[in-house]
């Protein structure tokens, strides 16, 4: 799971390094690995047949990546920090 401290640390790195692409963010890469793991895990029983639950978990995992990318694209650190908080909530979903 992601912690608030890791989100703040990641934001500090962005400010200091001027990252050009959201794909280069470690937090986005971790979220992608998590989404791949969840997708793979939810294809087996008992998740495979509970379509609603499976789809909800997959969507939540994907939204962590989506929210991180969106926040990065906003440009402002305050907005980005807010969107990372939303991504954290998706992770906990």
Residue range 21-73, pLDDT digits in tens: 888 888 889 889 989 999 998 888 887 788 898 998 899 888 888 888 887 77
Q: What is the CA 25 to chain-centroid distance, rounded?
A: 11
Residues in CB range of 86: below 8 A, 6 or more apart:
67, 71
Q: What is the pLDDT of residue 44?
A: 86
* 4-92: CATH architecture: Up-down Bundle (1.20)
Domain residue ranges of the chain, discontinuous segments joined by +: 4-92
Q: What is the pTM of this model?
A: 0.65
Alpha-helical runs (H) found in 1-93: 4-17, 26-41, 51-74, 77-92
**Bond before 72 cis per omega within 30 degrees:** no
């Amino acid at each position: 799971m992601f912690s608030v401290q890791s989100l703040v640390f990641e934001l500090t790195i962005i400010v200091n390094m001027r990252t050009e692409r959201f794909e280069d963010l470690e937090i986005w890469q971790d979220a992608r690995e998590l989404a791949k793991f969840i997708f793979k895990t939810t294809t087996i029983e008992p998740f495979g047949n509970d379509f609603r639950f499976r789809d909800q978990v997959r969507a939540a995992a994907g939204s962590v990546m989506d929210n991180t990318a969106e926040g990065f694209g906003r440009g402002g650190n305050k907005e980005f920090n807010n969107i990372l908080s939303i991504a954290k909530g998706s992770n906990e979903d």
